[in-house]
Amino acid sequence: MTQTAHGVEFNQQLSATPKSAEERAAILANPGFGNYFTDHTAVVDYSVNEQGEGGWHTARVEAYGPISLDPSAAVLHYGQEIFEGLKAYRHADGSIWTFRPEANAARLNKSARRLALPELPEEYFLGAIRELVQADKEWVPAGEGEALYLRPFMIATEAFLGVRAAREVSFRVIASPAGNYFGGELKPVSIWISREYARAGRGGTGAAKCGGNYAASLIAQQEAEANGCKQVLFLDHFNDDAVEELGGMNVFFVMKDGSLVTPALSGTILEGVTRMSVMQVAKDMGREVTERKITLDEWRDGVASGEITEVFACGTAAVITPIGVLKDTTEFIGSADAAAGETTMAIREQLLGIQTGTAPDTHGWLTRLA
Ligand SMILES: Cc1ncc(COP(=O)(O)O)c(C=O)c1O
């Protein structure tokens, strides 16, 4: 069967062995994050010849399962890979929606340009998401704080060991039911300062969402966890220890006057869809929002003087998470028994309300998937 989504035909080769309703219910009872995957995957392949003739083709939805790759596939050697992350939310009437998918499609293509991968027309991105969610709609959880996490990604599949941009590429979307990212109640988290490691450098790939950035961040994340912290903060060591971002989230500061500050995009920070949405939601609440350089010194001194009243992190997976403590062996900023701040919680509630259909979507951020 073929289906047309956003003007692109997706061939449907549905799984012969989907999970039973009982198996699915057992998974949905406690999905955690990134542990379980739905019955299907959406795929679009790309190939061009030496003259660059060809393009995207063979859009399909098929059973979720291992990918067959040649051992010389470029992605396995040179890390030519990019990905995205967004969620599908079940609203009270049972309908399923996603949040600002065009922004993820645009960021995927920004990442593609940086990693010398082909850009994917938006209709394929949106079509793949819609087709996958329609095939797996029973997997979209309905509980509070739950959603179906969607993971689009693009890999260089060409079997060739020369170092050049691959001519064969595959774009795929997989989906994973997700509960609360940090588990349990919304408590302020402790963050570890990475002194030794950077996740990105000037001219590098920090503004792209590519696997290599995350590979580079894992050692710092291990250090954070070994010190009882949930995430790591990366600083620009060559620019007065300017605050960049966490391993997987952007950072906001709430100032005494009610305004918000977030690090300016410098080429080494990933431009989060949540970050841009938080800025708009805060402006809608009448707050001033500034993107500028903010250093570790300003964080420390601002918390001590009361100039900074709240700090929070934001990203698709964890939405908005208050930061209670920032520390390393020489610093301890904040307080271990801090409660979530009022502004943090108000912005979180408003954003979640829009995503889950309980607050009006005044900016047209939602797209219906099923
Ligand atoms: C490094 C990094 N920064 C920021 C973010 C937040 O981006 P978004 O709000 O689009 O999820 C993410 C998550 O995708 C990330 O991996």
Looking at the domain assignment, is residue 367 inside a domain?
no
Burial class of residue 211, CB neighbours in 10 A (0-12, 13-18, 19+): middle
In the chain, the amino acid numbered 73 is A
Same domain assignment for residues 313 and 351: yes
Task: Kindly report the CATH number assigned to the domain that includes residue 222.
Answer: 3.20.10.10
Is 60 exceeded by the pLDDT of residue 18?
A: yes
**How many angstroms separate the alpha carbon of residue 4 from the centre of ligand 1?**
30
Task: Evaluate: CB of 320 within 6 angstroms of ligand 1.
Answer: no
Together in a domain, 256 and 315: yes
For residue 228, what are its two tokens? 């009882």
pLDDT digits (tens, 9 = 90+) for 182-199: 655 688 999 999 999 998
Task: Using the 3D structure, point to which of 178, 206, 239 is the last residue of a domain.
Answer: 178
315 CA distance to ligand 1 centroid (A)? 5
Kind of pairing between the strands at 260-263 and 289-292:
parallel
Residues 351 and 265 in one domain: yes
Same domain, 89 and 236: no
Say if residue 222 is in the same domain as residue 154.
no
Residue 75 lies in a domain: yes
Same domain? 116 vs 143: yes
Mean pLDDT of 324-343: 95
Judge whether 184 lies within some domain. no
CA gap 334, 337 in Å, rounded: 9
Same-domain check for residues 128 and 218: no
Q: Can you tell me the distance from the alpha carbon of 313 to that of 120, in angstroms, rounded to the nearest whole number?
A: 29
Q: What is the pLDDT of residues 22-67, one digit of tens each?
A: 999 999 999 999 999 999 999 999 999 999 999 999 999 999 999 9
pLDDT at 275 over 80: yes
Check if the beta carbon of residue 311 is closer than 8 Å to that of residue 280: no
Tell whether 16 is covered by a domain: yes
CA of 277, closest atom in ligand 1: 9
- Burial class of residue 297, CB neighbours in 10 A (0-12, 13-18, 19+): exposed
Determine the Cα angle at 36 with ends 172 and 278, to 5°: 70
Report d(CA 308, CA 302) in Å as an integer: 5
Average pLDDT, the chain: 95
User: Do 159 and 278 have their domain in common?
Assistant: no
Domain identity same for 132 and 15: yes
pLDDT at position 4, please? 56
Do 166 and 262 have their domain in common? no
Under 8 Å between Cβ of 64 and 52: no
Residues 131, 212, single domain; the answer is no
Nearest CA owner, ligand 1 atom 8: 272
pLDDT tops 60 at residue 2: no
| pLDDT band at residue 266 under the 50/70/90 scheme | confident
Residues 231 and 291 placed together within one structural domain of the fold: yes
Any atom of ligand 1 within 6 Å of the Cβ of 315: yes
> Is 248 near ligand 1, meaning CB less than 6 Å away?
yes
Final residue of a domain: which of 178, 208, 242? Answer: 178
Regarding the beta carbon of 302 and ligand 1, being less than 6 Å apart is answered: no
* Last residue within a domain, chosen from 144, 178, 212: 178
pLDDT recorded at residue 196: 95
Of the candidates 147, 323, 347, 344, the residue with the CA atom closest to the CA atom of residue 245: 323
Q: Tell me, yes or no, whether 361 lies in a domain.
A: no
Q: Based on the structure, what is the number of domains in the chain? A: 2
Question: Is residue 199 assigned to a domain?
Answer: yes
Between CA 114 and CA 271 the distance in angstroms is 14
CATH assignment at residue 147: 3.30.470.10
Ligand 1 atom at minimal distance to the Cα of residue 250: 4
**Residue 20 maps to a domain:** yes
Residue 364 lies in a domain: no
Identify the domain containing residue 319 by its residue range.
189-356
Q: Which of 151, 213, 243, 274 to mutate to test the pocket of ligand 1 (most atoms within 8 A of CB)?
A: 274
When computed from its CA atoms, the radius of gyration of the chain, rounded to whole angstroms, is: 21
